[in-house]
Amino acid sequence: MNARAAYSKHKEAAAEAHAIYRRYCGGKVPPRVPGMDTVIRLALRIENGRSIEEAAAREYLYRWHLAIKAPDQCDAASDTALVNPCVSVFGAPHTIGM
């Protein structure tokens, strides 16, 4: 099933999953990631058999995966403007763990 069809079918469930995801992020969702919209990714996860809670949790982990650079990319000398040189431009979904 394509993304539009999944979103049309699971719009309400994806909105509920997004609300849970937002709570995981401390009430504020990190900046948008280029590519597919978060709610559409949630709808696709639900279409693929995940519960609303599982979809939200997987989105949270997905965003952490985007946020944390590989250890070999963590070079504090490369950019002194960063607070944490191991965090990507996408930012972490929550301040816990930083």
Does residue 66 lie within any of the structural domains? Answer: yes
Q: Residue 57 above 60 pLDDT? A: yes
Number of domains in the chain: 1
Does residue 48 lie within any of the structural domains? Answer: yes
Does residue 89 lie within any of the structural domains? Answer: no
pTM assigned to the model: 0.74
Does residue 15 lie within any of the structural domains? Answer: yes
Q: What 3-state class would DSSP assign to 47?
A: helix
The pLDDT value recorded for residue 69 is 73
For the stretch 10-36, pLDDT in tens is 999 999 999 999 998 888 877 777 777
For the stretch 62-94, pLDDT in tens is 888 877 777 777 766 655 554 666 766 666 666
The pLDDT value recorded for residue 78 is 56
Q: Can you give the residue range of the structural domain that contains 30? A: 3-73
Distance CA 79, CA 46 (A): 39
